[in-house]
Amino acid sequence: MKLTDPKLLRTQAYIDGQWCDSDNGDTFDVFNPANGDLIAAVPDLGAAETKHAIDAANSALASWRSKTAKERANILRAWYDLILQNQEDLAQLMTFEQGKPLAEARGEVIYGASFVEWFAEEGKRLYGDVIPAHGADKRVVVIKQPIGVIGAITPWNFPLAMITRKVAPALAVGCTAVVKPAEDTPLSALALAELAERAGVPKGVFNVVTCNKPNAVAVGGELTGNPIVRKVSFTGSTPVGKLLMKQCADQVKKVSLELGGNAPFIVFDDADLDAAVVGAIASKYRNAGQTCVCANRIFVQAGVYDEFAQKLADAVRTFKVGSGDQDGVTQGPLINKAALEKVQNLVDDAKDKGAKVVCGGQAHDLGGTFYQPTILTDVTTDMRIANEEIFGPVAPLYKFESEEEVIVKANDTPFGLAAYFYARDIGRIWRVSEGLEYGIVGINEGIISTEAAPFGGVKESGIGREGSKYGVEDFVEIKYLCMGGV
Ligand code: ADP
Kindly list the distances between the CA atom of residue 363 and the CA atoms of 292, 312, 341, 391, in Å, as whole numbers in the listed order: 22, 20, 9, 14
pLDDT digits (tens, 9 = 90+) for 334-367: 999 999 999 999 999 999 999 999 999 999 999 9
Q: Is the pTM of this model over 0.90?
A: yes
Best residue among 30, 153, 245 to mutate for probing ligand 1's pocket (most ligand atoms within 8 Å of CB) is 153
Measured distance CA(450)–CA(465) in Å, rounded? 12
C-beta of 155 in contact with ligand 1 (< 6 A): yes
Question: What's the Rg (C-alpha) of the chain?
Answer: 23
Q: Atom 14, ligand 1: which residue's CA is nearest? A: 182
> Which residues, in sequence order, are CB contacts of 16 under 8 Å at separation 6+?
52, 53, 56, 59, 60, 203, 204, 207
Indicate the average pLDDT of the chain.
98
Question: How does residue 8 score in pLDDT terms, banded at 50, 70 and 90?
Answer: very high
Which stretches of 182-272 are DSSP H helices?
Answer: 186-199, 213-225, 238-249
Measured distance CA(445)–CA(218) in Å, rounded? 41
Would you tell me the crossing angle of helices 87-98 and 69-85 to the nearest 10 degrees?
70
Question: How does residue 1 score in pLDDT terms, banded at 50, 70 and 90?
Answer: confident
Whose CA is closest to 372, among 317, 295, 314, 297?
Answer: 317
**Which pLDDT score is estimated for 441?**
98
Amino acid at 169: P
> Which of these is catalytic: 97, 122, 258, 460?
258
pLDDT surpassing 90 at residue 438:
yes
**Which pLDDT score is estimated for 85?**
98
**Which pLDDT score is estimated for 123?**
97
Measured distance CA(470)–CA(286) in Å, rounded? 26
**Which pLDDT score is estimated for 200?**
98
391: phi then psi, degrees, rounded to nearest 5: 50, 45
**Which pLDDT score is estimated for 223?**
98
Query: Which whole number is the average pLDDT over 192-205?
Result: 98
- What distance in angstroms lies between residue 240's CA and the mean position of ligand 1's atoms? 6
Query: Within 10 Å of residue 458's Cβ, how many Cβ atoms?
Result: 15
Query: Which whole number is the average pLDDT over 437-451?
Result: 97
Identify the bridge partners of residue 152 per DSSP, sorted by sequence position: 179, 233
The atom number, within ligand 1, closest to the CA of 219 reads 25
Kindly list the distances between the CA atom of residue 140 and the CA atoms of 254, 480, 485, in Å, as whole numbers in the listed order: 25, 7, 12
**Which pLDDT score is estimated for 233?**
98
Measured distance CA(57)–CA(314) in Å, rounded? 53
Beginning with the edge strand found earlier in the chain, give each strand of the sheet holding 139-146 in spatial order. 129-131, 139-146, 476-483
> Which residues, in sequence order, are CB contacts of 253 under 8 Å at separation 6+?
224, 229, 230, 231, 232
Measured distance CA(224)–CA(91) in Å, rounded? 32
pLDDT digits (tens, 9 = 90+) for 265-310: 999 999 999 999 999 999 999 999 999 999 999 999 999 999 999 9
Residue 9's H or E segment, with its range, is none
Query: Which whole number is the average pLDDT over 307-319?
Result: 98
Whose CA is closest to 165, among 474, 482, 479, 486?
Answer: 474
Measured distance CA(65)–CA(473) in Å, rounded? 16
The dihedral through the CA atoms of 132, 134, 138, 142 has a sign that is negative
Query: Which whole number is the average pLDDT over 196-203?
Result: 98
Judged by DSSP in three states, 396 sits in strand
Query: Which whole number is the average pLDDT over 214-234?
Result: 98
- What distance in angstroms lies between residue 180's CA and the mean position of ligand 1's atoms? 10
- What distance in angstroms lies between residue 216's CA and the mean position of ligand 1's atoms? 7
Query: Which whole number is the average pLDDT over 185-198?
Result: 98
Best residue among 163, 210, 240, 335 to mutate for probing ligand 1's pocket (most ligand atoms within 8 Å of CB) is 240
pLDDT digits (tens, 9 = 90+) for 250-271: 999 999 999 999 999 999 999 9
Amino acid at 424: R
Query: Within 10 Å of residue 239's Cβ, how many Cβ atoms?
Result: 10
The question of whether 122 is a catalytic residue gets the answer no
**Which pLDDT score is estimated for 204?**
98
- Proportion of the chain above pLDDT 70, given as a percent: 100
- Cβ proximity of 403 and 427 under 8 Å: no
Question: How does residue 227 score in pLDDT terms, banded at 50, 70 and 90?
Answer: very high
Measured distance CA(40)–CA(11) in Å, rounded? 7
Whose CA is closest to 116, among 189, 181, 172?
Answer: 172
Residue 409's H or E segment, with its range, is helix 403-411
Number of DSSP helices (H) and strands (E) in the chain, helices first? 13, 20
333: phi then psi, degrees, rounded to nearest 5: -80, 170
Query: Which whole number is the average pLDDT over 236-254?
Result: 98
Measured distance CA(272)–CA(265) in Å, rounded? 14
Q: Is the ipTM above a cut-off of 0.90?
A: yes
- What distance in angstroms lies between residue 260's CA and the mean position of ligand 1's atoms? 12
C-beta of 151 in contact with ligand 1 (< 6 A): no
> Which residues, in sequence order, are CB contacts of 136 under 8 Å at separation 6+?
none
Question: How does residue 385 score in pLDDT terms, banded at 50, 70 and 90?
Answer: very high
